[in-house]
Amino acid sequence: MSAGQVIVLVIVLLVVLAAILFGLRAARRRKLQKTFGPEYDRVVADTGSRADAEKELRERERRHADLELKELSPESKARYSAAWEEVQIKFVDSPNEAVGTADDLVTRLIAERGYPTGDYDDQLANLSVEHARTLGNYRDAHEISDRSRRGEATTEDLRQALVHYRSLFADLLGENPVQSTTTTTTTSRPTAVPAQTDAQVADNRTVNNSDVANPTRPDANQR
């Protein structure tokens, strides 16, 4: 084999190796994008580097694999569903208290599923591996809850918070917490949060939250 042929062979091998490495990297990226959904873009934006973001997401997967997660028993699911219905009923008379209760209830559910609940950022990171598609709703609900404690949230903000909390709640529960289609209203009171009947938990427990996109706004004079 001549020197020219050897050079050509080496170049071909290098091109093939580069193509394989590129393909593997692209496959890993697609897997991360599928697993984390919108959270992938959020982390890329936060870190300012796709490579750093993917390193962070792979680390989340590693930590998540070490968790001892567990499914809920039918009895636990029934108990949480009943508790959630009570939260929605409470919203009619006391929206602020209902949102605070919802935050506590979601935190208890997160803990019972086996997720650590100490540091909020770590909690989000752990949840993002299996519940990334409802994590944005949880962030929004938590932010509104904080504003509620400072007396800065409107009734509509609080209603949205409860809808957002329900998104992650249903995702963790594995089913809709409220099966009724009835919407309760009371004169001179805030409109009750509508029951979520069209959410389907599938494809990595993704919840279709159609009532978040098209909420029924309460009468501004009923606050």
**Which mean pLDDT values do the consecutive 10-residue runs of the chain (223 residues) have?**
76 80 78 89 92 94 94 94 95 95 96 92 94 93 94 95 95 80 39 44 38 39 38
**Euclidean distance between CA atoms 13 and 29, whole angstroms:** 24
Give the residue from 195, 189, 198 showing the smallest Cα distance to 218.
189
**Per residue in 77-103, is it b (16+ CB within 10 Å) or e — as a string?**
beebbebbeebbebbbeebbebbbbbb
- Cα angle for residues 104, 105, 111 (degrees, 5° grid): 90
End-to-end CA distance of the chain: 87
**Euclidean distance between CA atoms 137 and 141, whole angstroms:** 6
Q: Residue 17: what pLDDT?
A: 79
Q: Residue 193: what pLDDT?
A: 56
**Euclidean distance between CA atoms 160 and 143, whole angstroms:** 11
pTM of the model: 0.70
**Euclidean distance between CA atoms 153 and 39, whole angstroms:** 26
